[in-house]
Amino acid sequence: MTTNGIRHVFVYGTLRPALATAEPGMLITSLQQDGPATVRGLLFDLGDYPGLVDGPGSVHGDLLLVETTAQLASLDAYEECDHDCPLYRRETTTARRPDGQRVTVWVYRYCRSLENAVPIPSGDYLRYRTGGGGKAAPGR
């Protein structure tokens, strides 16, 4: 596994610094925060965590700097990318910073059924969890 020269991971759920507690908090402790950004897609509440899928909307999140393959491997394990039926798939995409600058990033896309998922129209899981449209649930 390599970082392929990609230095950022876009986090939109429980790995966002403002939401990261317990295991997620420990995972991102060594990662430098590099500001807010958005990516194209749709966001869903999956119960204890969100899932980003392809779509026409915007998903809000944060950029974290990834400096080693070990850091990336830890995030992959947390996101369950390495199972026979993975929960998420790590892919590259383009994120946009508030100033319009585009950055190539890693992102974790949800790859299971959305049958019981609840759409998050704002595309902002932080706002959704902190009073912008749903009750906070512990978990991932």
| CB neighbour class for 98 (10 Å; exposed up to 12, middle 13-18, buried from 19) | exposed
Residues 63-106: tens digit of each pLDDT: 999 999 999 999 999 999 988 889 999 999 999 999 999 999 99
Q: Is 12 within the bounds of a domain?
A: yes
Neighbours of 54 (CB within 10 A): 11
**Residue 94, in any domain of the structure:** yes
End-to-end alpha-carbon separation of the chain, Å?
A: 24
Res 18 pLDDT > 50: yes
In a domain, 83, yes or no: yes
Residue 28: inside a domain, yes or no? yes
Give residue 111's domain range: 8-125
pLDDT of residue 132: 64
Count: domains in the chain: 1
Whichever domain contains 67, its CATH number is 3.10.490.10
pLDDT at 57 over 50: yes
On whether the pTM is more than 0.85, the answer is yes
Q: List the catalytic residues.
A: 79
Identify the pLDDT of residue 34: 97
In a domain, 69, yes or no: yes
Least Cα distance to 41 among 133, 129, 106, 109 occurs for 109
